[in-house]
Amino acid sequence: MTTDPVRLQRAYDEPTPDDGYRVLVDRVWPRGRTREHLRLDAWHRELGPSTALRRWFGHDPARWDEFRRRYHAELATPAAAAQIDELAERARHGRLTLVYGARDTEHNQARVIAEELERRLMLD
């Protein structure tokens, strides 16, 4: 079991009792998943990458570095930054699980959001 305040979990994996606050960070609802199965506390769809960025990236690992750069810029907008701040505050007080639908566990938007959260948590 990890003690990290921020955890990542695919929407297709079973929720666990120690997930804490579960938030879906995809702009699109994961196919074949129900709200009951995901057991979410929130869906921050606006935190998902823009449709244009998501389509450009296409989960191509060769585009990962550029995707991260562009996505960090999207997350810096005032609306997204406010949501990241809200999630960072939750992580300060307990476990936060970022739920995402991508197959690739290493190259996805939840990893970039976790980077932003960790940066904010380290500033404390």
Tell me if residue 26 falls in helix, strand or coil. coil
The Cα–Cα gap between 46 and 40 comes to: 16
Q: Hey, where are the domains in the chain?
A: 6-122
Q: What is the average pLDDT score of the chain? A: 94
DSSP 15: P
CB atoms within 10 A of CB 101: 22
What is the DSSP code (8-state) at residue 28? S
Q: How far from 53 is each of 19, 31, 76, 92, CA to CA, in Å?
A: 29, 20, 15, 30
Give the separation between CA 105 and CA 45, rounded to whole angstroms: 19
| Cα–Cα separations (whole angstroms), residue 91 to 1, 67, 82, 87, 116 | 16, 25, 14, 6, 12
Q: Is residue 3 over pLDDT 70?
A: no
Euclidean distance between CA atoms 49 and 27, whole angstroms: 7
pLDDT tens digits along 18-55: 999 999 999 999 999 999 999 999 999 999 999 999 99
Task: Give the pLDDT score at 124.
Answer: 64
pLDDT at 122: 85
Strand partners, 96: 6, 21
